[in-house]
């Protein structure tokens, strides 16, 4: 009895984007009113942005190549590869 059944969307996934934003906004306001919300300093925000940029672009200023895909004129790199021409 291996029936392929489509999963029903539940929770936030079943709501419209507008409804999700409304609920998230209420949560954010409540946290600020309670005094438990994190407020970023400009240094924290700068550091977080830099980290995100390095992860998404590998720190090279462009999107990183998936592992095992050679860059133009380069060797294939990835698990088990020395990255050197042999």
Per DSSP, the residues of 8-59 read PP-GGGGS-HHHHHHHHHHHHHHHHHHT-S----HHHHHHHHHHHHHHHHTT
Return the domain boundaries, the chain: 16-57
Kindly report, residue by residue over 20-78, the tens digit of the pLDDT. Answer: 999 999 998 999 899 888 888 999 999 998 888 887 766 565 555 555 555 555 555 55
Tell which residue, 12, 18, 37, has the closest CA to residue 27: 37
pTM to 2 decimal places: 0.39
**Confidence (pLDDT) at 7:** 79
Q: Which residues does 83 contact at the CB level (< 8 Å), separation at least 6?
A: 75, 77
């Amino acid at each position: 009895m291996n029936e392929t059944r489509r999963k029903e969307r539940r929770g936030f996934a079943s709501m419209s984007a507008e409804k999700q934003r409304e609920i998230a906004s209420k949560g954010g306001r409540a946290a600020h009113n309670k005094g438990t919300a994190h407020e970023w300093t400009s240094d924290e925000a700068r550091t977080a942005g830099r980290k995100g940029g390095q992860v998404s672009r590998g720190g090279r200023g462009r999107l990183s190549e998936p592992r095992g895909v050679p860059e133009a004129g380069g060797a294939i790199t990835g698990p088990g590869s020395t990255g050197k021409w042999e």
